[in-house]
Amino acid sequence: MISDRLTLFVIVAALGLLILVLEMVRRRALAEKYSLLWLGLAVIILVLAVARPALDRIAPVLGIYYAPSALFVTGFVGLLVILLYFSAVITQLTRRSRTAAQHIGILTERIEQIESKIKRDSDPK
């Protein structure tokens, strides 16, 4: 089934990615919701690499006549999707941290005012 060295290499790499991501999730170094895309990509590549006959049939449909290239195309598209998703996440985080910083600024000034008012009120002249 595993006919050539390249396919074997891809299978090992995909398995490695799968294990690495799962381990990172287990150690809480990676949040579940950010691991799903990685896991999905690893599984797809793994399945395509193992099921070589299917790959041989799908690849020509996409105009790819060297079947293993289809694995790399899959990996490339998958990475693009993941990067785009993370750019969107960064955008959202930036917006949220900006709002948080603005609120910190406003609230800090308020606390200082309240504290100095309390000090003034409790000061026995």
How would you label 66-100 residue by residue, b for 16+ Cβ within 10 Å and e otherwise?
ebbebbeebbeebeeeeeeeeeeeeeeeeeeeeee
118 Cβ partners below 8 Å, 6+ apart?
Answer: none
CA angle 92, 74, 67 (to 5 degrees): 175
Q: Which x/- pattern, by CB under 8 A, does the window 96-125 give for other proteins? A: --xx-xxxxxxxxxx---------------
Min dist. Cβ of residue 85 to other proteins (A): 20
Compute the least distance from the CB of residue 33 to other proteins, in Å.
Answer: 24
> Of the two residues 31 and 104, which places its CB atom closer to other proteins in the complex?
104
- Interface characters, 17-56, with other proteins (x: CB under 8 A): ----------------------------------------
Which residues in this chain contact other proteins in the complex, by CB under 8 A?
A: 98-99, 101-110
